[in-house]
């Protein structure tokens, strides 16, 4: 990918040099009444290109920075959630730990422990 980027930049630079060589003529640019700027055509083209490119490049960099921050935040939240899920015991182990010993062993639970409404608690 880097080679493609390098080739594109070299071709753009070569095109700019060829353009500059064939169009090296002075032009007068009227800025205000009585204020005239005399410059060469290649300088005018380069400055115009940069004035158009710079705002879009800054907007692109800002959105890229914002999206990278969002991705980083989501990755951190995911890592934390995975770490917390790995640290917690499975649901079956939690239920057997909270039940009385007789229920976990498969025995019968006394009526008072079951919360049977027909019999009063002890």
Q: 9-20 pLDDT, tens per residue?
A: 999 999 999 999
Question: What is the percentage of the chain residues whose pLDDT exceeds 70?
Answer: 73
**What does DSSP assign to residue 116?**
-
Q: Is the residue at 3 inside a domain? A: no
Q: Is the residue at 73 inside a domain? A: yes
**Alpha-carbon gap, residue 11 to 99, rounded angstroms:** 76
Q: Is the residue at 51 inside a domain? A: yes
Structural domain count, the chain: 1
Q: Is the residue at 103 inside a domain? A: no
Asked if residues 26 and 43 have their Cβ atoms less than 8 Å apart, the reply is: no
**Phi-psi region for residue 34, left (φ > 0), alpha (ψ -120 to 50) or beta?**
left
- Residue 101, SS3 per DSSP: helix
**pLDDT tens digits, 23-37:** 999 999 998 898 999
Q: For the range 84-88, what are the long-range contacts, defined as Cβ-Cβ under 8 Å and sequence gap of 24 or more?
A: none
**pLDDT tens digits, 72-83:** 999 999 999 998
């Amino acid at each position: 990918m880097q080679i493609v980027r390098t080739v594109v930049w070299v071709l753009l630079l070569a095109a700019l040099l060829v353009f500059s060589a064939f169009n090296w003529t002075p032009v007068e640019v009227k800025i205000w009444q009585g204020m005239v700027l005399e410059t060469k055509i290649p300088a005018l083209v380069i400055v115009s290109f940069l004035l158009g490119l710079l705002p879009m490049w800054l907007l692109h960099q800002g959105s890229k920075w914002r999206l990278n921050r969002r991705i980083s935040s989501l990755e951190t939240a995911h890592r934390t959630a995975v770490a917390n899920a790995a640290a917690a015991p499975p649901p079956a182990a939690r239920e057997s730990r909270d039940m009385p010993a007789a229920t976990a062993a498969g025995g019968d639970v006394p009526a008072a422990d079951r919360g049977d409404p027909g019999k009063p608690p002890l």
